[in-house]
Structure 1
Amino acid sequence: MQALHILQIDASARPGLSGIDPRGSHTRRLTSRFIERWQAARPQDSVTYRDVGQQPPSPVSGDWIAAAFTRPERRSEAARAQLAESDALINELLRADLIVIGAPMYNFGLPAQLKAWVDNVVRVGVTFGFDRSRQGEPYWPMLSPGKRLVILSSRGDYGYDPGGRLGEINLVERGLTVPMAYLGLTDTHSIAIEYDEFADERLRASISAAESAVDELVGKLARDAIDAAAPALAVA
């Protein structure tokens, strides 16, 4: 089977895993489970791990913007240094076939650390193109096709799924799917734990349902990966 590469990103400010560590993270629990199940199903695949919750990327600055909008051949050494971290994050994204992001809900949206990652990988001339003279839409995506995004979230309240009582104020999934689609990554899947603030049987049931959904999604995506590789192997 053709090997794939996975990019695992954790963004929770909590360092541990719920169910194991005191006050541990639900999203880290889900991403860890996803990767463990995936590696059991496809041990040939490799994983890059990025913990933006504990080691946040630098936020975009005026110098970063000036460097990003300078043509590569005209960048000074200082400008290249400004973009070094962005280059590393983008290279991880470009290499990945599957991106698994643990994205807890903080005040209805993404943690600042994860937003900083988004801002560092959405970059003109690298992950999206722009040309004022281009007829029609002047922007276009530059990520290679076939990548998949899995968003594993957690929420203090409940009803944040589409059509739910709080669905309209859930900015977590859209905070990732909108910019990633802009880059060309449109195949996305989302699973979330809810009821964290209630800390009762509803939370326990939500955790159990989310873990079952993770297991099911791993099985589906792993089967899809095998099916996608089959025609290429047949031709070879």
Structure 2
Amino acid sequence: MAHILHIDSSPRGERSHSRSLTHRFVTDWKNAHPQDTVTYRDLGHHPAPHVDEPWIAAAYSEPKTHSPELQKAISTSDTLVDELLAADRYVFGVPMYNFNVPSTFKAYIDQIVRVNRTFAVNEQGYQGLVHGKKLLVITSSGGSYKSGTPTAGYDFQVPFLKAIFGLIGITDITFIHADNMDRGDEGRKESLTDASNAISQAVANW
């Protein structure tokens, strides 16, 4: 039995392509693995707070020294980190905004990438503390930024996600892209069909 953390970060509702695709995956996964459990978090409608000065003071000091103010400042981060560590697998819906992740998802990342919680620093450099996990990222974008194309250099989303989750130890990452969402009905339909087929393969093989 596995526990899945399912996160959506689009502020859109029913019109969100990334949301519909993550929910399609999780529904199909649960049908194939009814014993598995899922925790759902909606960052698009209920965003994580941004890091502020009290947060930094709390994150870089011993918990036993924390004042009530610092305890409050770090409490959301503690909850999100505990939730991340409790899961075996992750399904994240991440639309592309301005060639990278939405600010809602970046705020979440800033809450969970914590020294001595999800990564450490030693003589060899950075050491990830989150091991044995699998991550599925479903993205959506108005254009297409596939490797080898003239627009590939605009994709800061995939390299960033690989780097930041690799930093904390999550390197088994699968991407499913629903691109060309703003390139007309035919391009959108073709891309959604490809994404749907990739979801079916992921359910069978992930």
Distance in 2 between residues matched to 1:164 and 1:146, nearest whole Å: 33
Determine if the alignment matches structure 1 residue 219 to structure 2 residue 204: yes
Structure 1 match to 2:195:
210
Instruction: Return the match for 2:4 from 3, 6, 16.
Output: 6
| TM-score normalized with structure 1 length | 0.85
What's the offset of the Cα at 1:129? Answer: 1.2
1:152-171 matches, cutoff 5 A: 152-158=138-144, 160-171=145-156
- Using the alignment, how far apart are the partners of 2:106 and 2:74 within structure 1? 17
For residues 101-159 of structure 1, what are the alpha-carbon distances to aligned partners after superposition, in whole Å with 9 as ceiling and x for unaligned?
000001111100000000000011111112xxx4332x31111x21011110011012x
Equivalent position SS for 1:129:
strand
Amino acid in structure 1 at the alignment position of 2:31: A
| Contact kept in structure 2, 1:7 and 1:99, CA below 8 Å | yes
Q: How far off is 1:86 after superposition?
A: 0.5
- Describe the SS at the equivalent of 2:184: coil
Offset, 1:68: 0.5
Residue of 142, 148, 153 corresponding to 2:129: 142
Offset, 1:185: 0.4
Report the residue type matching 2:134 in the other structure.
R
| Partner in structure 2 of residue 58 of structure 1 | 49
CA contact (8 A) 2:8 2:94 kept: yes
1:163 CA drift (Å): 2.2
The structure number with the bigger radius of gyration is 1
Q: Which residue of 2 aligns with 1:89?
A: 80
**Residues 1:69 and 2:54 aligned together:** no
Percent identity, please.
Answer: 37
d(CA) in 2 for partners of 1:147 and 1:217?
15
1:40 alignment partner in structure 2: 31
Query: Where does the alignment leave 5 or more consecutive residues of structure 1 unmatched?
Result: 17-23, 222-236
Unaligned runs of 5+ in 2: none
User: Is the contact made by 2:58 and 2:71 (CA closer than 8 Å) also made in structure 1?
Assistant: yes
CA contact (8 A) 2:10 2:19 kept: yes
What letter matches 1:92 in structure 2?
A: E
Q: Distance in 2 between matches of 1:107 and 1:136?
A: 34
Give the Cα–Cα distance (whole angstroms) in 2 for the partners of residues 56 and 208 of structure 1.
30
Question: Is the 8 Å Cα contact of residues 103 and 111 (structure 1) preserved in structure 2?
Answer: yes
Q: Is the 8 A contact 1:103 1:172 kept in 2?
A: no
- For 1:186, the equivalent position in structure 2 comes to 171
> Displacement, 1:85?
0.5
Give the Cα–Cα distance (whole angstroms) in 2 for the partners of residues 75 and 205 of structure 1: 53
Which residue, 115, 118, 130 being the options, matches 1:127?
A: 118
The letter for the 1-side match of 2:9 is A
Q: Is the 8 A contact 1:151 1:190 kept in 2?
A: yes
* CA drift at 1:194: 1.3
Aligned residues: 206
Distance in 2 between the 1:98 and 1:203 partners? 28
Most deviating of 72-81 and 44-53: 72-81
Q: Which amino acid aligns with 1:7?
A: L
